[in-house]
Amino acid sequence: MDDLLKVEGLGFSWGDNLVIDSVDFIVKKNELVSVLGKNGAGKSTLLKCLNKILSPNRGKITIHGEDISELGILTTSKKMSYVPQSITSNFSMDVFDVILLGRRPYINWAVGERDRDLVSKTIDKMGLSNFAFRRFDRLSGGEKQRVVIAKAVAQDPDLFLFDEPTSDLDLKNQIEVMKELRKIVSEDNGKAAIIAIHDINIASRFSDRIMLLHEGKIISNGKPSDVLTPENIELVFEVTSRQVMGEDGILRIVINDEITRE
């Protein structure tokens, strides 16, 4: 597989507080990579640095070999889409039109038939047909989250950046959204996704690779079974655990009722 994203020596500080410390990693085409870590580990900050919302203090980020610091907003938007942890926008428009906003990097003067067709296909793909023409500001929190994810999909970037994309979703929709994201980056289309997430078992089930972030550093990076060891989980999350491989071939992490540090 070819490298899509390369991060070298990335560092970011809020004043004297070092949040990201000399981070290096590569994301290849058709990979879904999850970033795990406890609150305050730097997951959201990392995604914002990748998407140019924040400017790193040091290091280099390239996508398809191009330094992102040299890319304009329009070019960056064609290469990456980003869904934040909190949905603060409250669009007074139909769901269809909100998702159509994802096509803005490609629209010059008027919305084309291809843009509308792609939005319609995205709505079907993401299971939003039942409320495609409802007002966005009248949806539930979980419905809004699904719409904003669909907007990012309609943007058709090379790299998806999702910050807690399942946090407001019920169990059924968590699985459905992750299945669809997994499918999108597995279609040999050169796309990839980085997902910051808290749910260890969702990450284990759907990720090609997991990066474990602790105190601003990536302390483990590899297959879920190699990263989500009892030793790593105890170090990062301060609980004991065990790995269980189900008959369905899905690795599950069972958290024991033991807290190792108060």
**Rounded-to-integer distance, Cα 23 and Cα 208, Å:** 19
Domain boundaries in the chain? 3-259
Q: Summarize the confidence of residues 7-24 as an average pLDDT.
A: 93
pTM of the model as a whole: 0.92
Q: Summarize the confidence of residues 131-143 as an average pLDDT.
A: 89
Question: What amino acid is encoded at 206 in this protein?
Answer: F
Tens-digit pLDDT profile for residues 42-53: 999 999 999 999
Tens-digit pLDDT profile for residues 160-219: 999 999 888 889 989 988 998 998 898 778 899 999 999 999 999 999 999 999 999 999
The mean predicted confidence, pLDDT, of the chain is: 91
Cα 165 to Cα 34, 178, 207, distances in angstroms: 11, 9, 14
Q: What is the CA radius of gyration of the chain?
A: 19
The CATH number of 3-259 is which of 3.40.720.10, 3.20.20.70, 3.40.50.300, 2.40.160.40? 3.40.50.300
